[in-house]
């Protein structure tokens, strides 16, 4: 569409153009209500249909059975770093965490600051978090195992989830939820900030298994308890209506236009393969993640020098490609290619990479 | 505008039509970025301008000096019920709360569930919260005094704020912030869910005075500490970008189209006077709030019978007026007439009220 650029931002990130167009078209009058979606009561029938449909689509897309609840919270994954141990890690017990980078480290810190006992069962810090650990030492009797399914900053992901021998798995899936099918049965809880694969910033999807709710302590403040949100169907208080509405439309696009997570994974693999091939065939680009741990969502790479990296990002912007700078904590370059990033954008990026290497190499 | 109705919802509520139109116009391409506002990085220059401008407008409109910080959080006022005592009420001290209705009661409960000591310095529960107490027994040495400046459900408001003899005043101003000027100097903290006078659901404005930050305990989870948000200028983690953007535009409308809070108050008084006059001149309608405590934002009233109330709401909807049902906990009728409700909507309501009374009375 005229004036639109190719968006490789790590989050908030690209969203499907048909979804944006639908929102724009009905922004002054949502479903004939005579009000904007931003003005509609969260207690209205029309909003109820939105939130019910969004939750139902999460359940269908992820093939969740009725033991799972889907709720929409606020505060992003960072708030979940605090809520998970507060609700699900009883005093006197421990939880296992696998440290695969910045966000996993934060999750560990937020449990420890509450005085909770964390066993770091594995870490890839020894090689700057460039891989997913294969040797994991779970401490028996843990309350849960916490992982970060995809590491946005380091460009790694769990290709297969660890076997926890029945201990509930908990995952921050902010940056790869809905990117591929997986078996949800080992998971006690999954959380994801919306602003990568689901919608805009401002909502967090939390999927929680019924048996986990029994652990929630009675005497927590209401807004810090998962049970408050499950019992009131995400409406313990006014939810972030616009963000949930947009998530609903993105999920509808994923189900009805893409055709579900099996198709989404095929497309995501094709997109990632294109970028990794551009890296691997050249002497100019170097991928920073070890090959078997490479993320399909965030492709991290270096150029021969920092000044070339700076030039690469600058010229990309001049050519209508945004968001290619690596995270400020690690430097380098990064192309985030979430579900909504079209193949056309990836092709444009790869052409640009080839051209830039040829000119500068 | 064609197809739009008169919206008297209590929140989410009516928003200024020019703001909605501006958002719609640039929804696919925010300020020439080539991206939707929902796709723009929160670390970008263009979003930085949004959040800086929004905070600056809050400061200008409320005439806050540099001792006040303005930050944007998530979780609504309900989350502040928990954060306020957690951050600002040290163990071994007490805080005074004035109980003026449903939300004030919740704020008290959320402090007590943390084991904090609350002195209920006054309550209007004896007459179903239909007034703001004048006799208030503050307990000396309190950490703060908590009030609810406007009671959305009961239709009452503090016409003047209580004299706390230097103890910091804290107010939930969710339903009347920006409706009139006031002296901010007695306030240690002000919070407001956006979805009434500020914008869409999904953001909370928190105004906190510098000296209050010194009370924040070190060992709280990061997302539960005011200092996390103040130190990172609301960007400790990804903020609710769309909601903040919309708040910025509503504040711009308030400053540049309305002309500030002095003008806003005049308009709000005119609107409220019209509805209260319609009530007071009739035998048919009965206001539920005592006159000197009447809210300018939420006008609560009863009809002679519940069946007439039901009919009143139903026929109003048929005549393009939404949201007139009272809160499910109290029944009756309620017209919420926030800043963005145009005079034209209020006039249509008053005409309808007169007509309905004439037909049914």
Mean pLDDT of chain B: 97
What does chain A come to in residues?
Answer: 361
Average pLDDT over residues B262-276: 98
Q: Which of B103, B116, B225, B325 is catalytic?
A: B103
Same domain for B109 and B32: yes
Complex ipTM more than 0.95, yes or no: yes
Q: Nearest C-alpha of chain A: how many angstroms from B283?
A: 31
Interchain CB distance below 8 Å, B10 and A237: no
* pLDDT value for A293: 98
- Give the residue on B whose Cα is nearest the Cα of A324: B41
Kindly tell me if the per-residue pLDDT of B330 is higher than 90.
no
Residue A311 belongs to some domain of the structure:
yes
List of chain B residues whose C-beta atoms are within 8 Å of the C-beta of residue A114: 221
Stated length of chain B: 361
- Asked whether residue A86 is domain-assigned, the answer is yes
pLDDT at A29 over 90: yes
Angle value at C-alpha B159, between B153 and B161, nearest 5 degrees: 105
Mark yes or no for CB contact A222/B110 under 8 Å. yes
- Which residue of chain B is at minimal alpha-carbon distance from A221? B110
> Tokens 């509805």 — which residue?
B275
Q: Which of B124, B226, B128 is nearest to B170 (CA)?
A: B226
Peptide bond into B12 cis (omega under 30): yes
- At A2 the pLDDT is 75
Last residue of a domain, one of A257, A283, A313: A257
Task: Using pLDDT thresholds of 50, 70 and 90, give the confidence band for residue B268.
Answer: very high
Residues in A touching B23 (Cβ below 8 Å): 27
Q: What is the pLDDT, as a whole number, of residue B150?
A: 98
Q: A253: which DSSP letter?
A: I
Q: Do A201 and B242 touch (CB under 8 A)?
A: yes
Is the CB of A36 less than 8 angstroms away from the CB of B15? Answer: yes
In a domain, B13, yes or no: no
Closest CB to B39: pick one of A13, A28, A39: A13
Distant-in-sequence, close-in-space partners of B341: CB < 8 Å, separation ≥ 6: B6, B7, B8, B13, B14, B271
Can you give the pLDDT at residue B40?
Answer: 97
pLDDT of A134-192, one tens digit each? 999 999 999 999 999 999 999 999 999 999 999 999 999 999 999 999 999 999 999 99
pTM: 0.98
Q: A20 and B4: CB-CB below 8 Å?
A: no
Q: Of A204, A228, A257, at which residue does a domain stop?
A: A257
Contact B148, B172 (CB under 8 A): yes
| Mean pLDDT within A317-333 | 94
Q: Give dist(CA B19, CA B176) in Å, integer.
A: 19
Instruction: Return all residues near A39 (Cβ < 8 A) that are at least 6 apart.
Output: B7, B9, B12, B13, B14, B15, B200
Residue A9: its pLDDT value, please? Answer: 97
Note the pLDDT tens digit of each residue in B164-209: 999 999 999 999 999 999 999 999 999 999 999 999 999 999 999 9
Residue B74 and residue A79: Cβ atoms within 8 Å? Answer: yes
* Cβ contact B39–A241 (<8 Å): no
| Nearest chain A residue to B228, by CA | A78
Same domain, A153 and A49: yes
Q: Would you say residue A7 lies in a domain?
A: no
Candidate list A96, A154, A158, A172, residue with the active-site label: A172
Question: Across chain A, what does the average pLDDT equal?
Answer: 97
Looking at the domain assignment, is residue B2 inside a domain?
A: no
Residues A176 and A212 in one domain: yes
Active site residue B66: no
* Closest in B3, B12, B23 to A34, CB measured: B3
Chain B CB contacts of A116 below 8 Å: none
pLDDT of the residue at B2: 75
A33-58 pLDDT, tens digit per residue, is 999 999 999 999 999 999 999 999 99
Note the pLDDT tens digit of each residue in B115-130: 999 999 999 999 999 9
Confidence of residue A329 (pLDDT cuts 50, 70, 90): confident
Closest chain B C-alpha to A150 CA, distance in angstroms: 17
Task: Work out how many domains chain B is built from and give that number.
Answer: 2
B174 neighbors B151 (Cβ within 8 angstroms): no
CA–CA distance, A264 with B297 (Å, rounded to integer): 48
The residue in chain B having the minimum alpha-carbon distance to the alpha carbon of residue A222 is: B110
Q: How many CB pairs under 8 A join A and B?
A: 220
Interface test with A, best of B33, B242, B246 (most A CBs within 10 A): B242
**pLDDT, tens digit, 9 for 90 and up, residues A76-91:** 999 999 999 999 999 9
Closest Cβ opposite residue A23 in set B27, B113, B320: B27
CATH number at residue A285: 3.90.1150.10
Decide if B174 contacts B44 (C-beta within 8 A). Answer: no
Of A27, A219, A222, the CB nearest to B24: A27
Is the same domain home to B123 and B138?
yes
| pLDDT computed for residue A111 by the predictor | 98
Flag if A74 and B77 touch (Cβ within 8 Å).
no
Active site residue A180: no
Catalytic residue from among B96, B116, B154, B172:
B172
| Residue range(s) defining the domain that contains residue A191 | 18-257
Residues of A in contact with B223 (CB under 8 A): 75, 78-79, 81-82, 110
Residue B9 falls inside a structural domain:
no
HEC per residue, chain B: CCCCCEECCCCCCCCCHHHHHHHHHCCCCHHHCCCCCCCCCCCCHHHHHHHHHHHHHHHHHHCCCCCEEEEEECCHHHHHHHHHHHHHCCCCCEEEEEECCHHHHHHHHHHHCCCCEEEEEEECHHHCCCCCCCCCCCCCCCCCEEEECEECCCCEECCCCCCCCCCCEEEECCCCCCCCCCCCCCEEEEEEECCCCCCCCCCEEEEEEHHHHCCCCCCCCHHHCHHHHHHCCCCCCCCCHHHHHHHHHHHHHHHHHHCCHHHHHHHHHHHHHHHHHHHHCCCCCEECCCHHHECCCEEEEECCCHHHHHHHHHHHHHCCEECCECCCCCCCEEEECCCCCCHHHHHHHHHHHHHHHHHHC
A30 DSSP assignment = G
How many CB atoms lie under 10 A from the CB of residue A238? 24
Q: Indicate if A252 and A264 belong to the same structural domain.
A: no
CA distance to A152, A322, B209, per residue, from B51 (Å): 24, 21, 19
Q: Name the residue among B24, B39, B81 with its Cβ closest to that of A28.
A: B24
Contact criterion met (CB below 8 Å) for A30 and A40: yes
Q: Is B315 exposed, middle or buried (0-12, 13-18, 19+ CB in 10 A)?
A: middle
Q: Quote the pLDDT of residue A166.
A: 96
| H or E element that contains A248 | helix A241-252
Inter-chain CB proximity B193 and A238 less than 8 Å: yes
Instruction: Classify residue B308 as exposed, middle or buried by CB count within 10 Å of its CB (0-12, 13-18, 19+).
Output: middle
Residue A16, helix vs strand vs coil: coil
pLDDT band at A210 (very low <50, low <70, confident <90, very high): very high
Tell me what the mean pLDDT of segment B282-298 comes to.
97
Q: Which of A29, A236, A246 sits opposite B3 (nearest CB)?
A: A29
Residue A361's pLDDT is 73
Tokens 């920006």 belong to B178
Distance of CA A204 to the CA centre of its chain: 10
Angstrom distances, CA of residue B158 to CA of B149, B299, B329: 5, 14, 22
Contacts of B4 in chain A (CB under 8 A): 28-29, 34-35
φ, ψ for residue A81 (rounded to 5)? -55, -35
Same domain, A200 and A344: no
Asked whether residue B23 falls in the same domain as residue B128, the answer is yes
The answer to whether the Cβ–Cβ distance between A76 and B237 falls below 8 Å is yes
Q: Give the pairing type, strands A169-172 and A187-193.
A: parallel
Note the pLDDT of residue A328: 85
The rounded distance, in Å, linking the Cα atoms of B35 and B242 is 13
Among the options A96, A103, A253, A325, which is catalytic?
A103
What CATH number is attached to the domain comprising B201? 3.40.640.10
Q: How confident is the model at residue B355 (pLDDT cuts 50, 70, 90)?
A: very high
User: Does the annotation mark A103 as catalytic?
Assistant: yes
pLDDT band of residue A5 (cuts 50, 70, 90) is very high
Task: Determine the Cα–Cα distance for residues B83 and A333; give it in Å rounded to an integer.
Answer: 38
pLDDT of residue B4: 95
Q: How far is CA B324 from CA A55, A227, B267, B349, in A?
A: 29, 31, 21, 10
A31 lies in some domain = yes
Among B154, B158, B176, B196, the one annotated catalytic: B196
Extract the tokens encoding A88: 């699900």
CB contact under 8 A, A4 and B35: yes
pLDDT of A330 higher than 90 = no
Specify whether B223 is located in the same domain as B349.
Answer: no
Which residues, at least 6 apart from B331, have a Cβ–Cβ distance to it below 8 Å? B302, B306, B309
Q: What does the alpha-carbon distance between residue B121 and residue B96 come to, in Å, rounded to a whole number?
A: 6
Specify if A12 maps to a domain.
Answer: no
Q: Which of A116, A196, A271, A325 is catalytic?
A: A196
Partners of B242 on chain A (C-beta within 8 Å) are 200-202, 242-243
CB B79 within 8 A of CB B194: no
- φ/ψ (deg, to 5) at A137: -105, 85
The predicted pLDDT at position A36 comes to 98
Q: Which residues of A touch B107 (CB under 8 A)?
A: none
Of A38, A81, A202, the CB nearest to B15: A38
Same domain, A249 and A269: no
- Structural contact between residues A222 and B82, judged by C-beta atoms closer than 8 angstroms: yes
What is the Cα–Cα distance from A69 to A65, expressed in whole angstroms? 9
Q: In whole angstroms, what is the distance from residue A137 CA to residue A140 CA? A: 9
Interatomic CA distance for residues A152 and A9, integer angstroms: 11
pLDDT at residue B328 in the model: 85
Contact A36 B28 (CB under 8 A): no
Same domain, A148 and A268: no
Last residue of a domain, one of B257, B288, B309: B257
Q: Looking at residue A98, what is its pLDDT?
A: 98
Could you tell me if A231 and A290 lie in one domain? no
When mean pLDDT is compared across A257-271, A336-350, B317-331, the lowest value belongs to B317-331
- Beta-carbon contacts of residue B350 (< 8 Å; ≥ 6 apart): B274, B275, B277, B278
Please give the pLDDT value at position B233. 95
CA B2 to chain CA centroid, Å, is 29
Q: Considering all CA atoms of chain A, what is the largest pairwise distance in Å, rounded to the nearest integer?
A: 64
The Cα B23–Cα A200 span in angstroms is 15
Indicate whether A113 and A84 sit together in one domain.
yes
Nearest Cα residue in chain B from A17 = B28
CB < 8 Å to B199, chain A: 38
In B, minimum Cα distance to A20 occurs at B28
Distance from the Cα of A186 to chain B's closest Cα (Å) equals 28
Output A307-314 pairs: Cβ under 8 A, ≥24 positions apart. Answer: A308/A360, A309/A333, A311/A360, A312/A356
- Residue among A40, A78, A322 whose CB faces B223 most closely: A78
- Candidates B12, B79, B241; nearest CB to A41: B12
CB contact under 8 Å between B41 and A323, yes or no, is yes
Residues 6 or more apart whose Cβ sits within 8 Å of residue A131 = A124, A156, A289, A290, A292, A293
- pLDDT computed for residue A306 by the predictor: 97
């Amino acid at each position: 569409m005229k004036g639109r650029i190719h968006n490789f931002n790590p989050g908030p990130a690209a969203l499907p153009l048909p979804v944006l167009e639908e929102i724009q078209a009905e922004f002054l009058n949502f479903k004939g209500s005579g009000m904007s979606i931003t003005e509609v009561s969260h207690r209205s029938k029309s909003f109820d249909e939105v939130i019910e449909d969004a939750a139902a689509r999460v359940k269908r897309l992820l093939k969740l059975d009725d033991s799972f609840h889907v709720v929409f919270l606020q505060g992003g994954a960072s708030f979940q770093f605090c809520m998970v141990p507060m609700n699900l890690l009883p005093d006197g017990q421990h939880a296992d965490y696998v440290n695969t980078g910045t966000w996993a480290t934060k999750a560990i810190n937020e449990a420890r600051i509450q005085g909770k006992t964390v066993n770091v069962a594995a870490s890839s810090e020894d090689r700057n978090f460039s891989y997913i650990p294969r040797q994991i030492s779970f401490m028996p009797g843990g309350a849960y195992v916490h992982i970060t399914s995809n590491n946005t900053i380091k460009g790694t992901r769990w290709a297969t989830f660890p076997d926890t021998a029945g201990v509930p798995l908990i995952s921050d899936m902010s940056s790869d939820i809905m990117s591929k099918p997986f078996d949800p049965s080992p998971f006690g809880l999954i959380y994801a900030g919306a602003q990568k694969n689901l919608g805009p910033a401002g909502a967090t999807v939390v999927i929680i298994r019924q048996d986990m709710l029994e652990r929630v302590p009675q005497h927590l403040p209401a807004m810090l308890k998962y049970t408050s949100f499950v019992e009131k169907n995400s409406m313990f208080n006014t939810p972030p209506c616009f963000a949930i509405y947009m998530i609903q439309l993105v999920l509808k696009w994923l189900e009805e236009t893409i055709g579900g997570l099996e198709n989404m994974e095929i497309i995501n693999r094709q997109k990632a393969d294109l970028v990794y091939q551009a890296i691997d065939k050249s002497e100019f680009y170097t991928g920073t993640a070890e090959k078997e741990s490479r993320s399909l969502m965030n492709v991290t790479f270096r150029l021969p020098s920092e000044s070339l990296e700076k030039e690469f990002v600058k010229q990309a912007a001049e050519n209508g490609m945004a968001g290619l700078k690596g995270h400020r904590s690690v430097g380098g370059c990064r192309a985030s290619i979430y579900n909504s990033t079209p193949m056309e954008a990836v092709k444009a990026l790869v052409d640009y990479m080839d051209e830039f290497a040829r000119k500068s190499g």
